[in-house]
Amino acid sequence: MPKMKRRSFLKASAVTAAAASVPLKMSFADYKEAAEEEEGYKIPTTCNGCSSMCGVYVHVKNDRVWRVEGHPVHLKSRGRICARGHGMAADMYNKGRVQGPMKRNANDEFEPISWEQAYKEIGEKLTETIDEHGGNSFLWLEHGVRGQRYANPLLDKIGSSNYVTHYSTCFSSKTNAWAEMVGTTLNGDHENAKYMIFEGRNFAGAIIPHGMNQITKAKENGAKIVVIDPKHSEIAKIADDWIPIKPGTDLAFRLALAHVLITEEKYDKDFVNGYVENFAEFWRENKDKSPEWAEEITGIPAEKIREVAHDLAANAPEAFIEPGWHGLHCHYVNSTQTAQMGIVVNALLGNFYKRGGLMPSADPEFGTFEHDGWSEEEKGPRADGAGVAGEHYTVEASRGIAQTVPDMIEKGRIKAAFIYHFNPLRTAPDPEYQKKIKNADLVVSINIDWNETSVYTADYILPESYYLERTEVPQAVSGHISHDYPQISLRQQVTEPLHDTKPLREIMQGITTEMGMGELYDYSLDDEIEAMLEPTGVSAEELKEKGTVELQTNKVEASFPLCPAGSPNLATSTGKIEFSADKFRADGKAGIPTWIEPKVMPDPSADDEFRLIHGKQPYHSHHVTSNNPDLIKLTKKYNGTAMWMNTKKAQKLGINDGDIVTVSSDMTEKEIDVKVTELIHPDCVWISSAYGGFSDRLETAYNLGVNYNDFIPVMVEPYSGTTMSQEVIVKVAKGGVS
Ligand code: SF4
């Protein structure tokens, strides 16, 4: 076997390209034995298992990934990674990867083509589409983290405003509320907190390794952890108190907390007087939202609500309701108001910009890369109506409404779509409806594997190189957990690409060159890296060597942002935290959060009716990791595909643990096995968001478990455009589908 020194493969690509195929043809036992002898090398990069993008070191032997470990400096990992991080590295060798450019032929089958042919045909078709229908008929649809910098040059050049992310299927209700009321988002300072509420927030399920370290450290130091969730989630395992709330009623719980804090004068009056706008208006609107009122709605005893409010106040400002993420923030018709009330309760505790309360992210100051070849044409209104008066005016236009793409196509607003690093057929409700994305004149899927969106909708699949096979621009290490100093990290190539794949910038350059727009991407990645790093004082060489660097500038301070004259200086119209959102009022909606009933509720007299809720498991990143054979071993071990049902409700229906049941909504009916447990509220049943794959090219994920999105119609939450993915009632009957 060839001996490879660290990085030597990058200098000898011809040799390594040949060597790369050798280990794949060996048995694993032979490979392992041979590799034990190898010296190998390790390269720092970042994980791609979830949006935390933890820093990792990847050890390579014989040009094959040997093992992965957490980067000791990186804020999210601090030397540790989760199971998904290991699984994602192994997925480089997954048979489900697309191994070269593909074209759908007249028989509705995919055939391999060259990159040159793909660029030429796609370039010609896109040019034709733009000539005929205008640039605004083009849509870029992506997960939302990495592609925008390469989407923008094309969108700007052709005059398209249609950049859409997956966020409406995930957390837009939160970001919309925070943008309108605070002008930024803050993170819980878990490590220094004395009292933390995780409401619909499973920090140990959507795991951030070092975030969990901080939480457990706080607990060891005496902090109290309270989990409000219909399901006893993984974070509940370390909680002092689990309060199983009736799903869909968190808004009422938060309104009642505010009621206690205000009526008992336990709120921080100095903070409210100095930094809050519209307090009196809020109180006028919500004077009647007492704990007794909330008990009727939430099922939580009024005394328990009072106890939580008192504990929050007693520990403030080192106490908070965790700002949260996916859970609660795309689930209900009242998700935006629930997020608003999280802000209100935290503001009443006076915990903004306080240690142990809510703190800002420490963000690096990157330089801006500018390119002479870029230009911007006038753009039309967004096809999804986000931010458009008379349509979805209050939805953040920067994020869009991902679940309505088939509608945009049906209305003739979108004719061509590039779908990058995103699988809407698994992420958005009603997969059968999402399949209509295929009706666009041109659909190009730029994804790693044979995911459902590629298989069912794409005219062309252009496989991007795997995250361990490519280098990207520097990233800010930011969000969700508190830290004092900014960090920057770099995802960099660890091995040669296994297959005929390319990085995104190169793909875009190939297509646009055929469109006569070759100037758009006529620059190098090194140009971008250099420009971005310029103000940080970190050289590209240092970042490549270290992988993650902590800066000693821009230290986060525990002080409310003030302008030089001393008045509050948040990015809101008054500079203060605004309890009433201007944008919502401007659209004729309520600016002040108050009670809104969930859209649907199970009939209390019908024992077989439940709200269907879903969530993450610590060993999966929703569906993204569900084709990984190693992680699926964990699924099997923990019976992860089973649906959770409350014991008493199961008894009434004659259902026992392990039984097969039929679950049906207005959309579909499916068979699933049941886990009967006390650890879930009787009004709901729960399934994991990982399963129910229907691409037969992804062998491990195919037909494993049930997809929660099958049960949900496409809906648009009126304030933030989210999917309202838990506004669905299902019936459960013992036995399989008849
Ligand atoms: S939390 Fe796990 S999956 Fe996510 S980036 Fe970190 S190691 Fe990877």
Among 24-38, 312-326, 450-464, 707-721, which stretch is predicted with the lowest mean pLDDT?
24-38
For residue 201, the model assigns a pLDDT of 87
| 335-348 vs 250-263: helix crossing angle, rounded to 10 | 20
Task: Decide: 511 in ligand 1 pocket, CB within 6 A.
Answer: no
Q: Are 574 and 696 in contact (CB under 8 A)?
A: no
Residue 577 scores a pLDDT above 70 = yes
What is the Cα–Cα distance from 180 to 175, expressed in whole angstroms?
A: 8
At residue 28 the predicted structure's pLDDT band, cuts being 50, 70 and 90, is low
pLDDT given at position 17: 33
* Cβ partners under 8 Å of residue 398, min gap 6: 163
Mean pLDDT of all residues in the chain? 94
Q: If you compute the radius of gyration of the chain from its CA atoms, what whole number of angstroms results?
A: 26
Distance CA(281)–CA(267), nearest Å, equals 16
For the segment 583-612, the average pLDDT, to the nearest whole number, is: 97
- pLDDT score at 6: 42
**Residue 27 predicted with pLDDT over 70:** no
**CA of residue 515 to ligand 1 center, whole Å:** 38
For ligand 1, say whether the CB of 252 is within 6 Å of any of its atoms. no
Q: How large is the angle between the packed helices 83-90 and 629-637, nearest 10 degrees?
A: 140
Distance 204 CA to ligand 1 centre (A): 12
Task: Give the nearest ligand 1 atom to 208 CA.
Answer: 1
Determine how many CB atoms are found less than 10 A away from the CB of residue 706.
Answer: 23
Q: Using CA atoms, how far apart are residues 240 and 127, in angstroms rounded to an integer?
A: 60
Instruction: Indicate the SS3 state at residue 387.
Output: coil
Please tell me the distance from the alpha carbon of residue 590 to that of residue 336, in angstroms, as a whole number.
11
> For residues 333 and 582, what is the distance between their CA atoms, to the nearest angstrom?
20
Cα 234 to Cα 619: distance, rounded to the nearest angstrom: 11
Cβ(140)–Cβ(372) under 8 Å?
no
pLDDT digits (tens, 9 = 90+) for 252-266: 999 999 999 999 999
Pick the CATH number of 1-96+466-494+524-554 from 3.30.200.210, 3.40.1260.10, 3.90.1150.10, 3.40.50.720: 3.30.200.210
Residue 172 C-alpha from the chain's centroid = 10
**Confidence label for 313 from pLDDT (cuts 50, 70 and 90):** very high
DSSP-assigned letters across all residues of 82-142: -HHHHHHHHGGG-TTB--S-EEE-TTS-EEE--HHHHHHHHHHHHHHHHHHH-GGGEEEEE
β-strand partners of 320: 196
207 lines ligand 1 (CB under 6 A): yes
Confidence (pLDDT) at 30: 75
617's tokens: 């498991």
Residue 69 Cα to ligand 1 middle (Å): 11
Tell me if 208 CB under 6 Å of ligand 1: yes
599 SS3 class: coil
The residue contributing the CA closest to ligand 1 atom 4 is: 50
What pLDDT shows up at residue 358?
Answer: 98
Q: Which of 189, 186, 184 is nearest to 575 (CA)?
A: 184
Token output for 271: 């903070």
Q: Which segments of the chain belong to CATH 3.40.228.10?
A: 185-359
- Nearest atom in ligand 1 to the alpha carbon of residue 53 is 5
Q: Which of 57, 69, 71, 77 to mutate to test the pocket of ligand 1 (most atoms within 8 A of CB)?
A: 77
Taking only the tens place, the pLDDT of each residue in 374-410 is 999 999 999 999 999 999 999 999 999 999 999 999 9
Predicted confidence at residue 33, as pLDDT, reads 76
Gap between the Cα atoms of 255 and 44, Å rounded:
46
Report the number of secondary-structure helices (H) and strands (E) in the chain.
Answer: 24, 27
CB 473 within 8 A of CB 532: yes
Q: Are 213 and 482 in contact (CB under 8 A)?
A: no
Residue 211 Cα to ligand 1 middle (Å): 11
**Which pLDDT score, from 0 to 100, does residue 62 have?**
85
Determine the Cα–Cα distance for residues 662 and 609; give it in Å rounded to an integer. 12
Q: Are 63 and 72 in contact (CB under 8 A)?
A: no
- How many residues comprise the chain? 738
Q: How many angstroms does the Cα of residue 298 sit away from the middle of ligand 1?
A: 34
| Structure tokens that stand for 115 in this block | 């990159």
Name beta bridge partners: 577. Answer: 276
Which tokens belong to 539?
């050289």
Take residue 62 and report the two structure tokens written for it.
Answer: 């014989």
User: CB–CB of 445/437 below 8 Å?
Assistant: no
Lowest mean pLDDT among 147-151, 322-326, 605-609: 322-326
| Distance (Å, whole) CA 529 – CA 56 | 20
DSSP string covering 130-148:
HHHH-GGGEEEEE-SSSSH
Atom of ligand 1 lying closest to residue 81 CA = 7
423: DSSP letter: -
Cβ neighbours around 270 below 10 Å, total: 9
Pairing of the two strands 487-489 and 475-477: antiparallel
DSSP 285: H
Q: What is the mean pLDDT of residues 70-83?
A: 95
CATH 2.40.40.20-classified regions of the chain: 609-734
Mutational test site, ligand 1, from 45, 47, 212, 628, max ligand atoms within 8 Å of CB: 47
Using pLDDT thresholds of 50, 70 and 90, give the confidence band for residue 207: confident
224-234 confidence digits (pLDDT tens): 999 999 999 99
Strands 102-104 and 55-61, how do they pair? unpaired
Domain 609-734 indexed as CATH 2.102.10.10? no
Banded pLDDT at 482 (limits 50, 70, 90): confident
Whether 618 lines ligand 1, by a CB cut-off of 6 Å, is no
Backbone phi, psi, residue 661, to 5° = -130, 165
Is the per-residue pLDDT at 472 higher than 80?
Answer: yes
Sheet holding 41-46, edge to edge: 41-46, 55-61, 64-70
CATH 3.10.25.10 fits 185-359, yes or no: no
How many of the other CB atoms lie within 10 Å of CB of 534? 15
What's the confidence (pLDDT) of residue 447? 97
What is d(CA 269, CA 637) in angstroms, rounded to the nearest whole number? 52
C-alpha span between 403 and 431 (Å, rounded): 10
C-alpha 50 to ligand 1 mean position (Å): 5
Does 733 or 482 have the greater pLDDT score? 733
> Taking Cα atoms as reference points, which of 576, 194, 177 lies closest to residue 347?
576
Question: Coil, helix or strand for 3?
Answer: coil
Q: Which of 4, 23, 1, 5 is nearest to 498 (CA)?
A: 23
| Dist CA 142 CA 156 (whole Å) | 17
Residue 219 has pLDDT above 80, yes or no: yes
- The pLDDT value recorded for residue 325 is 86
**What type of residue sits at position 28?**
F
Q: What is the pLDDT confidence band of residue 23, given thresholds at 50, 70 and 90?
A: very low
Strand 319-321 and strand 195-199: pairing? parallel
Contact between 575 and 569 under an 8 Å Cβ cutoff? The reply is yes
Average pLDDT of span 617-641? 95
Strand partners, 110: 104
Strand partners, 111: 103
Q: Which residues contact 138 (CB under 8 A, 6 or more apart)?
A: 126, 129, 130, 154, 155, 158, 160, 162, 414, 415, 416, 417, 418
pLDDT at 5 over 70: no
Q: Which residue's alpha carbon is at the smallest distance from atom 1 of ligand 1?
A: 208
- Please tell me the residue having the least CA distance from ligand 1 atom 6: 54
Give the pLDDT confidence of 693-718 residue by residue, as tens digits. 999 999 999 999 999 999 999 999 99
The secondary structure of 30-64 as a DSSP string is HHHHHHHT---EEEEEE--SSTT--EEEEEEETTE
Whether the upstream peptide bond of residue 718 has omega within 30° of 0, thus cis, is: no
- Gap between the Cα atoms of 224 and 240, Å rounded: 6
